[in-house]
Structure 1
Amino acid sequence: MSRKGPTDDGDELLARLGSLTAQARELAELQRSRVELAVALQRGMLPRDLPGVLGVRLAVRYAPANHGLNVGGDWYDAFTMPDGRIGLSIGDVQGHNIEAAAFMGQVRVGLRALASVTSEPGELLARTNDLLLSLGTDLFATCTFIRLDPATGVLESARAGHIPHIWATADGRAGVDDGEGGPPLGVGRGMEYPVTRHRLTTGGVFVLLTDGVVEGPSLSLDEGLGQVVRLAGIAAVAGLEAGTLASSVIRMAETVGHEDDAAVLVVRHDGLTAGT
């Protein structure tokens, strides 16, 4: 009868460790490839440019959650509609994977396409909801859509399960939008989305964001929104640029206590020239 000696046992252990290490490396490479693909997909589906409109400044900041496999589906968008008004959207898809990133693109493209049929925010969200349900996916998305008339400053918004946006005026008033919202997109047919109307006055700002900016284990939603209200109020009174305010708000994502997508879209009325 033969027996394995200490050397044989050691060699076998080293061989097993080597095999496990190789498998771990292959798995890590596969996971990294999936994350890189999801991030590339995510970034490729976001707009490269923002529309320039006389008297309105737009600024965005975006921080994707690409730690480990935690890649989500937050998005923002801004585009000129056929009637000359500006369409603005921001939203968050359920999940943190490649499927969420792909679904994000479908929602954003769906909103743009249907905006050529109807730009009324409530009807647009209702039609987008029905379109997403027809795709047969189990995912859903929260979203805010805004129609802005640069000539009058009238801003009409509808929300689909999304957190409210923030407003502030140059005379020192600021707050959280208190308009009623509807359910998330993709959860059921025949949904209605009420429309809220505001007016963007000279020096005023509106801040659209996703919950990754203002909510987490270290920060409640009410506290986070309250901090954005203060930042927006200061920015409006001081006449700060839209980009400066957007940068200040996105930094809040570092304090919420978790890794999640974070998106901020700021609209500012300067009454002068347009830019991005």
Structure 2
Amino acid sequence: MDQRGSTTPEVDWPARPDTSLALNRMGTFDWDLDSGQMHLDPTALEVLDLRPDEFTGTPAGLRIRLVSGEEPRIDARVAQAMKDGRSHYGAYFRSRRRDGTLGWTHIQGHILRDPHDGRPYRVIGILRDAAHDPVEPGAAGERNEGRLRMTGVVERTTAILAHARTVNDVTDVLKDPEALGHLGAVSVMLGVVDGARVHLVAEGQLGSYVPEIEYTRVDARFPMSEAVRTLQTVYVASREEFQRRYPQLWPYIEPLDVRSGVYLPLIAQGRPVGALGLLYSRDGDFTTEERNVLVALGSGIAQSLQRAILFEQEHDLAEGLQRAMLPRRIPEVPGALIAVRYRAARMGRDIGGDWYDVIPLGEGRVGVVIGDVEGHDTDAAAVMGQLRIVLRAYIAEGHTPGTAMARASTFLRELATERFATCTYGEVDLNTGMLHLVRAGHLDPIVRRGDGSCHRIQVAGGLPLGLPAHDPPGTGTGYPVTSVELHPGDTLLLCTDGLTDRRGDRADSGMREVMDGVRDGPVDVERLADVLCDLVGDAGGGDDMALLLLRRRGTPAPRGGGPLRHELAPGDPDGPALARHLIRAAVAAWGARERADEVELAADELMTNVLVHTDGAGHVSLRLTAEGRIRIEVEDSSSALPHRREAGDWAVSGRGLLLVDRLADDWGVEPRGGGKCVWCEFIVPGRPG
């Protein structure tokens, strides 16, 4: 007798395989790995609640039914099976039906491989509805898999966060889909407690603005505020609960694919430092195990966030202290454009000893300083502050560059500190363009000419400040002066090694990069300073950096075409020798090298007259006139006019003006105010005279 009843469909005996599969909601799939095409039979489409016209015929066509986070997990399972050389794989995953309900599905595949090279080329498998598996959907295997997966997420995230040093580092981890995406959340939010408010600092994965207000009060009716206020995890199980409990938040949640959420208080040392929000596209049936994992995750994030906040507070304090010791403002200097930059090392409470300074000296002169005290701590910063002030005082008193540097070195030795410092000091006369440089173990300066060329200035160097000088007493300061001419439009660069050092690279690679940046950078010194700071980026974050740029105003002239002006000081034995050196170099640059001896000798005679026959200081200047002549002018404060006289055979003086008359093409004397100017001119061969 037939006991099946009238509603039972007729089934052949024995049942065909396709009938057995269909009755048990088991479909089949065939996946061609080479072409990427995938075929699903009608039962497989039914299990996933997909219409034939919705399925694209590729694995990507399954995405509309997969719950967030499931696709990368299945892909990883398949890839691992292929890598291990296995022929089978299987996994449970959650899928969402057309009406929004969630269900469990099991996938099992057999991998076909090329018999010659073992390359996988096809997967044939079964896709079945797992809603009626024993105990609960997914059975014990899926529970174990889910437990391991969530635990792994916590472990990986905690390990990554252990290296986070700033709040931005923490937020970058939380926004990374590979970090928290496997928890199944569609959005991750981080709020930081800021006084009586919660500041939302990060959101990821939804791709839209976070469904919260950026700043909310701790006592406001928001879930993140509630978690901070009560120190309890807030679970929101459904959209209806979002609307009922948090009406102010609901307008932000309503347009999103969000059905539940968890807000974890981030507690460190007994007080809240922030809150973590996780939003889900599934209903909030959070198991006890899931809740425990989330609480453990929140604890790890809280510790990392507190460390990051303390790091930034300490670094801000250190940087503020450092900046307080630097000049509060850079004075306006007529004839020059100046830009400075300081960048602290990203090393927490450590403070650097880098500094810069700009010292107006009057009469169109200005002093510029760059320096670096050894070490990165408060002692280095304290020494830097004292050294900057004392060097500024010596310079302002009128000491020559070499003397000022030597006295600063002595001062540092007498501080009884083990620190030394490197430093470069430059004194620029913006009227003449003369630049006198002294270097104490520091980097050579860089100059960019008005024509775009760029080179390092080879400055004769002394020992770093604070080290014992090796010069015998009375032989010199230990810090020789190098003089060059800064033409209109030229830019001088002084910097510390924080700008040029690059981790792991050759010692000169950073300097080459800086040279290229100066050569190709903008003319404006402020913009150029920004470009050079950007070169460092994260590559040199272990050291602080100071930078000073000075550009002489004026229209760039051909090299060697600018005027030269040098001061003659009574009792300065080096003054005339330096002037002769500069005069010879300028004459050669103007194409009159064959007359350099004549010009130098005539200039020397005129300078000697000033130093011997007058009581005051004088000035010697040299320029190329519009008529193509080299003109030397020597000014002094004496009103007595010189005259040419014949000297006897045994006379020791009286031949100076006679030499000038014989050597120069023209010469003369001009009264000027309280003094006079003696001048002479030389025709440059090849130029119209």
Normalised by the length of structure 2, the TM-score is 0.34
Counterpart residue number, 1:269: 552
Q: In structure 2, which of residues 428, 451, 456 is the aligned counterpart of residue 171 of structure 1?
A: 451
Compared CA separation, residues 142 and 81, structure 1 to 2 (3 A) = same
User: In the alignment, which of 407, 411, 416 is matched to residue 127 of structure 1?
Assistant: 407
Amino acid at match of 1:229: M
Q: Would the aligned equivalents of 1:77 and 1:89 in 2 still touch at CA under 8 Å?
A: yes
Q: Is the 8 A contact 1:53 1:150 kept in 2?
A: no
CA distance in structure 2 between the partners assigned to 1:164 and 1:42 by the alignment: 24
Q: 1:226 to 1:33 in 2, by over 3 A?
A: closer
Residues 89-130 of structure 1, C-alpha deviation per residue, up to 9 Å, x if partnerless?
011111101111111101110111111333422111101000
- Superposition map of 1:61-76 within 5 A: 61-76=341-356
Query: 1:4: which partner in 2?
Result: none
Query: Which 5+ residue runs of structure 2 have no aligned equivalent?
Result: 1-268, 271-298, 300-304, 472-477, 556-689
Partner of 1:196: 482
In the other structure, the counterpart of 2:191 is none
Is the contact made by 2:498 and 2:540 (CA closer than 8 Å) also made in structure 1?
A: no
The CA distance in 2 between the partners of 1:119 and 1:233, in whole Å, is: 34
In structure 1, C-alpha distance between the alignment counterparts of 2:307 and 2:340, rounded to whole Å: 35
Amino acid at match of 1:146: G
Determine if the alignment matches structure 1 residue 146 to structure 2 residue 426: yes
Instruction: Report the secondary structure of 1:188's partner residue.
Output: coil
Paired with 1:127 and 1:89, the residues of 2 have a C-alpha distance of 15
Greater per-residue helix proportion = 1
* 1:58 to 2:338 alignment: yes
* Structure ID, larger Rg: 2
Unaligned runs of 5+ in 1: 1-17
Q: Give the one of 466, 474, 486 matched to 1:186.
A: 466
Residue pair 1:181, 1:194 contacting (<8 A) in 2 also:
yes
Matches within 5 A, 1:17-96: 35-81=315-361, 84-96=364-376
May I ask how many residue pairs the two structures share in their alignment? 250
Query: Percent of aligned positions with the same letter in both sequences?
Result: 38
Aligned-partner residue type, residue 214 of structure 1: T
Shift of 1:172: 3.0
The structure-2 alpha-carbon separation of the partners of 1:126 and 1:190, relative to structure 1 and needing over 3 Å to count, comes to farther
State the one-letter code of the partner of 1:268: R
3-state SS of paired residue (2:431): coil
Distance change (3 Å), C-alpha of 1:174 and 1:211: same
Q: Partners in 1 of 2:398 and 2:470 — Cα distance?
A: 17
Deviation at 1:141, TM superposition (A): 0.8
Shift of 1:31: 7.7
Moved more, 209-218 or 76-85: 76-85
Residues 1:156 and 2:436 aligned together: yes
RMSD: 2.8
Question: Structure 2: which amino acid aligns with 1:142?
Answer: T
TM-score scaled by length of structure 1? 0.81
Instruction: Give the partner amino acid of 2:535.
Output: M
Say which structure is richer in strand. 2
Correspondence for 1:253: 536
- 1:28–1:113 CA distance, 2 compared to 1 (3 A): same
What's 1:205 paired with? 491
The one-letter code of the counterpart of 1:201 is H
Task: Give the deviation of 1:67 after TM superposition.
Answer: 2.6
Q: What is the aligned partner in structure 1 of residue 511 from structure 2?
A: 225
Contact 1:41 1:102 survives alignment (8 Å) = no
Q: Is the 8 A contact 1:176 1:225 kept in 2?
A: no
Query: CA–CA distance in 2 between the matches of 1:34 and 1:186?
Result: 30
Alpha-carbon spacing, 1:220–1:193, altered in 2? closer, same or farther (3 Å): farther
Residue identity opposite 2:530 in structure 1 = S
Equivalent AA in structure 1 for residue 501 of structure 2? E
How has the CA–CA distance of structure 1 residues 116 and 269 changed in structure 2, closer, same or farther, with 3 Å as cutoff? closer
Aligned residue type for 1:225: M
